[in-house]
A and B are shown apart, each in its own frame.
Chain A
Amino acid sequence: MIDINTALGHWPFMRFPQTTPAKLSRHLKKEGITQALVSSIDAIFYPDPDVYNRLLAASLKSFPELLPVFTVNPVLANWEKIVESSKVKTVKIYPGYHNYSLLSAPVYLLAEKLIKNKMSLMIQMRVEDERSHHPLCQIPPVPVADIVRFAEKYPSLPVICFCPYFAELIPLTSGNENVYVDISFVEIMNTVTRVLKDVPAGRILFGSHTPFLYTRAAAMKTEYAEIDRKTYKMITETNAQKVFKLK
């Protein structure tokens, strides 16, 4: 399985057991995950995300199965340098945490650059359930309508939405064929089977949101899904290989 939604670092409201790449790698392998895209949690709050991008990339050097995903804040002057230095064909943005609209000039410039470089864009819609945020640190989710309009504007840019809720899937995916979703926050009875009624299999990606959520929970969503082998492989492996140009 390829897990497109994992991270390393510190979060002020949680304590994680997977504190090093070695621990994360061991943990993911135990859950049957053989390759993972990893972003830096510290890059979300640190004023210059690239400091933590570099630290992440250096720490993952001896772990070829863990691929560093760089965090970009398109409002900062170093966004282009980060895009150019990314070895993985994607970057991640946090419009809610970095306090800008997806429908703004800096993000449009980023989108054009990514298209030129044949890369995709990861949008972190939320990190935690909004109901359980710290009362003085309530971060708004990225509005679904903004993502839809943004994806419409850039149909050749693959847009991967992280941590959408079940109710957000249909509006996200129905109009734009370049929008993909991860399953980490999606939950309804018989989740994956149900989602497939409305979302094409080619647009669903396995993501666990480790270490924020129990990895086993995401793994069980796919293991117990009532789907054929081919669809299972698409969701857990081949879709990610295609979207992120992985080997």
Chain B
Amino acid sequence: MIIDAHTHYPFAEYKEMKDITEVIRQAKKFGISKLFLLGDVFRHGHFQNEEQVKEINDLTIELVKKHPDFLVGFCYLNPANSPDFLVKEIERCVVENGFKGLKFEISMNCRSKKLDVVMQKAGELGCAVVQHSFYRAAGRYNEESTPADIADLASRFPDVKIVMPHLAGCGMRGILDIAGHKNVYVDSSGSQPVAGMVEYAVKTLGGDRVLYGSDAPGRDFSAQIGRIYGAEISEKDKAKILGLNAVKIFNLK
């Protein structure tokens, strides 16, 4: 079983893939049985208003309804929107439409107290949160969260499961930042398949806290799965990373 815990569709920068059935066909070539759809997070730039957030989630709802066995929906949110809207949107996506988690991108740094309302709601519903994170040599976005920011969020909400995406982008420093926070997991999505990072994450966090993700369609399943297959870790840990951990963290059936 392979679950890709990090994909986007539609994807603002990748206009060529006009039909999600092509993404699904590609995924199946690699034995992937589920794609987590985190939304078209840059569809309306970095700071979306409430209508724009709803539109992003409407698209995800529509796609998940068309492919319920293959796609798993995630509720995209801009925590800067009004608390009332955020709670209602979570209920619409998670309670009414069966989405499995929440997704925050770069519209607000996760140290902000404005995240409290969504984190409390996530805790109440028992759903996990995927918070974008990266350590950049240069050109960091104003509100972009780093792994240290995620560690802060995790300490404020120790009962909410948080996935920190982009293993190679967060680097060893990022892994060290979150290591002490048992409610934080890392996904392998994006960047080049930098050698040694999967081994380092498994050694530092344990095989239960690492998830496979691709960031497709901007990335390719081949190279992204290749980094897991190519890692010098046990077959047991590979199986956990490729799907078993996702089932557990996101309460999949």
B interface footprint on A172-194 (CB within 8 Å = 1, 0 otherwise): 00000000000001011111001
Contact assessment for B232 and A220 in the assembled complex, using a CB-CB cutoff below 8 Å: no
In the assembled complex, the Cα of A189 lies from the Cα of B7 at a distance in Å of: 11
B interface footprint on A206-236 (CB within 8 Å = 1, 0 otherwise): 0001111111111111011000000000000
Residues of A close to B23: CB separation below 8 A: 189
Contact assessment for A214 and B226 in the assembled complex, using a CB-CB cutoff below 8 Å: yes
Q: Is B230 an interface residue (CB 8 A)?
A: yes
Segment at the B interface, from A43-51, A99-107, A131-139: A131-139
A interface footprint on B134-145 (CB within 8 Å = 1, 0 otherwise): 111111000000
Q: Is B120 an interface residue (CB 8 A)?
A: no
Contact assessment for A216 and B137 in the assembled complex, using a CB-CB cutoff below 8 Å: no
Residues of B close to A221: CB separation below 8 A: 220, 222-223, 226
A81 to chain B, nearest CB (A): 33
Q: Is A14 an interface residue (CB 8 A)?
A: yes
In the assembled complex, the Cα of A128 lies from the Cα of B193 at a distance in Å of: 11
Given A217-B226, A220-B222, A224-B222, A138–B26 Cβ distance below 8 Å?
A: no
Residues of A close to B14: CB separation below 8 A: 188-189
Range, interface on chain B: 35 or more
In the assembled complex, the Cα of A216 lies from the Cα of B14 at a distance in Å of: 25
The secondary structure that dominates the B interface is: loop
Q: Is A112 an interface residue (CB 8 A)?
A: no
Residues of A close to B219: CB separation below 8 A: 187-189
Contact assessment for B220 and A189 in the assembled complex, using a CB-CB cutoff below 8 Å: yes
Given A187-B219, A187-B223, A131–B136 Cβ distance below 8 Å?
A: yes
- 6 A-B pairs with least C-beta separation: A216-B230, A217-B226, A214-B230, A217-B193, A220-B222, A217-B223
Pairs across A and B, CB under 8 Å, 24 listed: A14-B194, A14-B195, A128-B192, A131-B137, A185-B192, A188-B220, A189-B23, A189-B26, A189-B216, A189-B218, A189-B221, A191-B223, A210-B195, A211-B195, A212-B195, A213-B192, A213-B195, A214-B231, A215-B230, A217-B222, A217-B227, A218-B226, A221-B226, A223-B222
